[in-house]
Chain A
């Protein structure tokens, strides 16, 4: 047994370090990812003035009419409204920077309250607010560390089943360990699934060697083979007029006998413009690469493809499992809560790292830094997210880059939280930041309920989730105020 004990010890050591080094990044990725499950719903919550609905062909055509007057970008990407999102969300590139804008589905005007909405959390989840490709690379590295931590955590675990039913509440190391184990083990299949499928979504960037082996430098050819319905062609070089787009969308809806997802309009002012309509991802687990390409000027169908290759389908299922766009309301909440459990597992692990070392001897400089970082991230990030939603409600409508100002409030408050965590003693920092965060979330829910108009069950559920989050952090604040710090 001696050798096996050695293995377990090594695995526990590796588990600790793999979890620690990018643990704070992973924690934020998990929070943002969990929120991104509700990307359309968050967008709707954050645009209370824009609650009208319109059929996709009308909504897309209206947004395109606005873009034709206001954008010279070489490509417009528009997400069609559907059962969950009411607005058209547009992205277009100007050089390397991109513009995001939500459009009213009826008028085609930019939504009155400009906000990144749920898209902010979606991007933060894998781009970490860093320029391409660095954010995605760091996110992939963090995910790989997560996978190593999950596997080594399982191996290090002697009695995974028995430990799951062990909880020794109290204030010491044991309680943190039991909580860490429970959060990790309860949703373990989810944790492994979401980590691996997350890596797969970024594979073409971080694991391109299979593509390189078979396609050389021409990775665009791989995409072409994977999604034959989306064609590409160079611009003609002389101007052309885009045909009415509503009939193309309607035709795609009939062909898919379902909802339309993304609509790409390439070289919209050129004689060789293309309109590519993708199927929505809401009907099967697999993301749908089925797409129809229309000639932009004539509206004629250039390509239409039905996917039947088993391996491509498998890949689409793996991809779709991560995006969770197939999930109905119940499963969506399960994704959300499992994601939060993973965030909780990471947070308890990071706290455990400190608690364990502090019980033995005074903390080293490095561990004291980690202790402060724990406070600024674990309590600070949720606080900053609440500030983002508050900024959404309080910032005046209109004005230059209102959506960016919301984001600036988020990062400003986060920086403030981090500063407080490093200035104040931990036994003050924990209850203070958790308390402010808790109050921010609870009041957010109360104020929204008080002034809401046209609230749906979905929006009310969002308010309830905010209230619960707030109460949770208030509880953390109370407990950490009474305990000798965590």
Chain B
């Protein structure tokens, strides 16, 4: 651990990315599950299953992105972009009849 890593700047950076990983990661995974449940052209019980299972791979993907993005701001922007797209898809698709 170099000395630069101990400063408040570094700590703020890690905190921002950790928050993005935990809250952003869960939000994207949850929206992915919701959007795919509504978008899949299947009976409503079966439509729930694939997205719910795959969401558990979406979250670690987002977690890794949160720490690999070039800056905290970019990490959050990426997450917000995907979350917005998924949320829009879920809302536009509407609940199944």
Contacts and interface: CB of A to CB of B under 8 A. Distances in A.
Chain B associates with chain A: yes
Contacts of A148: 60, 63-64
Q: Which of A144, A151, A207 has the most CB of B within 10 A?
A: A207
A210 B53 CA distance: 10
Contact of B53 (A147, A200, A211, A215): A200
Interface stretch (A306-314, A407-415, A467-475): A306-314
B12 interface: no
A380 B20 CA distance: 35
Contacts of A314: 49-50
A216 B53 contact: no
**Chain A interface mostly:** helix
A317 to B, nearest CB: 11
Interface residues on A, range: 20 to 34
Contacts of B59: 144, 147
Contacts of B42: 311
Interface residues of B, number: 33
A315 B49 contact: yes
A66 interface: no
A7 B68 contact: yes
A311 B49 CA distance: 7
Given A10-B67, A215-B44, A207 B55 contact: yes
A266 interface: no
Contacts of A199: 56
A11 B60 CA distance: 12
A373 B49 CA distance: 39
28 contacts: A10-B67, A13-B67, A14-B63, A147-B60, A196-B56, A200-B52, A200-B53, A207-B29, A207-B33, A210-B37, A210-B48, A210-B51, A211-B37, A212-B34, A213-B33, A213-B37, A213-B48, A214-B37, A214-B38, A214-B44, A214-B48, A214-B95, A215-B44, A222-B48, A225-B43, A225-B45, A311-B50, A315-B53
